[in-house]
Amino acid sequence: MCKPRLCPQILATSNPARYGVLWRRFDEIYAILDVLLQHHFLSRTSASFSENFYGLKRVGEDSTHAAHLGLHRREHWHSLFLLALLPYLHTKLEKILARQRDEDDFSIRLPQSFMQKLYRAFLAAYPFVCMAWDGWVFCQQLLYVFGKTRTHSPLLWLAGVKLSYLTANDIRSLDLKPSGSALSPSQSFREKFQRLVSTAVGGVAVSLSSSLSIGVFFLQFLEWWYSSENQSTVKSLTSLPTPPPPLHLHSQETPPTHIKVCPLCRKVRTNDTALATSGYVFCYKCIYVYVKTNHRCPLTGYPSGLQHLIKIYTPDG
C-alpha cells in the first residue's frame, strides 16, 4: 500500500505555518481516523476494513452463533484496541526509543539513578522482545498452516476471535441492516443523540472507505512525482544546454545544388548515406570520416554521432 505520510509532508513543506501541525500530529490524526473507520466496520460487519474487503468476518472462538454477524462488547473493544490503538502505541514507542538512542550515542554520562539503569536495561532488551514477538507470529502462522490452531495471528488470539467467510445470510443482513438515520419519536434524548453520533461516525467511515481508492492513486502519483529517481530525470531533462545556432557556411562553401553530388567531396555520391540530424545525404566514406572527427553535421553544425548515419538503399542500387 501507499505511504500515507506523503500528503501531509508535501503540505507541510509547501506551507509550514499553516499545515505544519498536520505533519507534527500525523500519528494522532491517523489514529483517530483509523479508530473511526475500524469501529464502523466492526459494528456493522464484524470485521476490520481490510477483512471486510476480502469477504471475511470475526466471530468469537467459543461462539455458537458463527453463522450470524455480531461481536460481543468485550470482543469488539479488544479488536478495536488491537487494530487501531496498538499500532499507534507501537509507532510512538519506536520514535521515542530512536530519539533516545540518538541522544545516548552523543552522551558521555553514565546512568546513575535507578530509573536510568532500568531504561538502559529496557533499551537493551527491546530488540529481543521484538524478536520474540516475530517468532510468535511465525510459529502461529506455521501452526495455522498445519491446522493446529484456529487463528493465524496472535492479535486475533488476544482479541478472542477467529476469522470466517461471509455467508449469503450475512450479506443479506448487511443489506437489510438499518442505517441509523431514522429516529423514532418514542426514543429518549440519549438514544437519539447516540443514534446521531453513530450515524455521523458511520458517515465519516464510509467516506474514508469510499475515497480510499482515489486516495491511493493520488498518493502513489505524488510519491512517484517527488521520488528521487523522477526528480533526477526532470533535472537531467531541464538542465540540458541550449544547442548552439547552426553554423552557416561562407558563399564559396555553398553546397552544390546537384541532387546526386556529395556536399563534401563535390563528386557524384557513392554508397549514399543520410545524416539523421540534418537530413543531408553524403557519400558514406566522406560523412563517416567527418562525423567521427568533428562530431557535427558539416552543413548545419548540429551535434551528430556515428549512430545518426543512415544507409540509403535504392531499387537500382
Per-residue pLDDT tens listing for the chain (317 residues) = 444 565 666 666 667 777 777 778 888 888 888 888 888 888 888 888 888 888 888 888 765 545 556 788 888 899 999 998 999 999 888 888 887 777 666 555 555 677 777 877 888 888 899 999 999 999 999 999 998 888 889 999 898 898 888 888 877 777 655 544 444 455 566 776 766 776 676 666 666 655 666 766 777 777 777 776 666 666 665 665 666 665 554 444 555 555 788 999 989 888 899 999 888 999 999 999 999 999 889 988 888 889 999 998 876 65
Q: Which domains does the chain have, with CATH numbers?
A: 5-176 (no CATH), 258-316 (3.30.40.10)
Residues 6+ apart with CB under 8 A from 161: 58, 59, 60, 61, 71, 75, 78, 79, 151
Contact 302, 247 (CB under 8 A): no
**Can you name the residues that pair with 172 across neighbouring β-strands?**
none
**Can you name the residues that pair with 273 across neighbouring β-strands?**
282, 311
- pTM exceeds 0.75: no
